[in-house]
Amino acid sequence: MEFHHLRYFEAVARVGNITRAAEELNITQPSLSKQIQALEANVGAQLFDRVGRRVELTDAGRLLLPYARRMLREVEAARAALRERADLTSGHVAIGAPPTIGARLLPHALAAFNTLHPHIELELHEAGSAPLVRQLLAGEVDLAVVPVPQIGTASIELFTEELVIAVAPSHRLAKSHDIGSSELASEGFIMFPPSYGLRNRTLQFWREAGLAPRVVLDGGEMATVLRLAAVGLGVALVPRLALDGSEGLVGLPVRDAALQRTIGLTWHPERTPSPAALALRAFLTERLGGRG
C-alpha cells in the first residue's frame, strides 16, 4: 500500500467525484482511476461504487477511510515537526560540561541562546571530562565543553586558561606574586577523582617538576576541593576560572611550569547533528571563543 494511493483514495472519498478529485490532485482522470484500481488490487476489495455521476464508498471503503485519514494526519504531523526542527522552532540539545565551566561560563551563554531560540529545550550534564567524553561517544550528549583534544571526538578550540595553585589566605605562600615548583615539595595536596582531567594534570605536573607531595585528601569534587583549600586542609591545582567569585582563596601561578589547558567544544564526528545542536555549537563558538 503506497502513501500516494491513500492520498488519492481520501480525496475521491471526500469529493465523491473522480474528475473533480483529479483536478484537486493535479493529475489526469484516467491516471487517478488507475491508481484507485491499484489500491483496490492491493487491499483485495472494491472501495467505490459508481452511482450515476458520483462514486460512493463501499463497505470496505468506509472501513479503510478512517485509517487512511489517520495515516495522512500522522505523516503531515511528522512533516510539520521536521519543518519546525529545521527552522529552530522546536528541538532539543544535550550539552555536557565540568562543574566549573557549567557554573561559571554556561549560565549566561545558555540564557542568551534561549532568548534567541526559546523553543529549543536544553539539557545540561555536569561531570568530569572522562565521563562526559564517554557520554558524547555513546550519543547521550550532543556537545561537551571539555579540555581538548579528546580521542574519538571532533572539536573547536575555545580558549586556553591558566592553572594555578589554590591556597587559603592564611597560607605561608598566599602573599607571593607567584611561586616556584620546588616551594610545593612539602605541601599537602587535595586531589580530584580519577574522572577529572585535573587529576592527571596534577600528577603530570609532579612528574615534570620532580615532586612527590603528600596527598591529604583524595577524591573531592570541585566545590569541595575549593572549600577544603579555603580552610587550609591543603593546596590544589585548579583552573583560574574556578576562583572567579570564590572568596577565601588565592590563586598562585607557578612560574617555572607551563600550567594551562585548552578548552574546546567537542562532538561526535560520525553522527549527524540536529539543527538545534548546530545552532548551539555555532553560538557557543562565537560566545566563548577566545575568552582566555
Grid cell 612539602 is found at 186
Work out whether strand 250-252 and strand 154-167 pair parallel, antiparallel, or are unpaired: antiparallel
Grid cell 574556578 is found at 242
Verdict on whether the full-model pTM lies above 0.75: no
Four-residue CA torsion sign, 17, 20, 21, 22: positive
Long-range CB contacts (within 8 A, 24+) of 100-106: 100/222, 100/238, 100/239, 100/241, 100/242, 101/145, 101/241, 101/263, 102/126, 104/241, 104/242, 104/244, 104/245, 105/145, 105/241, 105/288, 105/291, 106/145
Percent of the chain beyond pLDDT 70? 99
Q: Which domains does the chain have, with CATH numbers?
A: 3-86 (1.10.10.10), 91-145+269-288 (3.40.190.10), 158-262 (3.40.190.290)
Give residues with Cβ within 8 angstroms of 84, minimum separation 6. 90, 91, 119
Please state, in angstroms and rounded to a whole number, the distance separating the CA atoms of residues 191 and 131. Answer: 17
For the segment 250-292, what is each residue's pLDDT rounded down to a tens digit? 999 999 999 999 999 999 999 999 999 999 999 999 999 876 4
pLDDT, mean of residues 52-64: 93
Q: What confidence score (pLDDT) does residue 259 get?
A: 95
pLDDT, mean of residues 19-28: 94
Confidence of residue 85 (pLDDT cuts 50, 70, 90): confident
Q: How many CB atoms lie within 10 A of CB 178?
A: 13
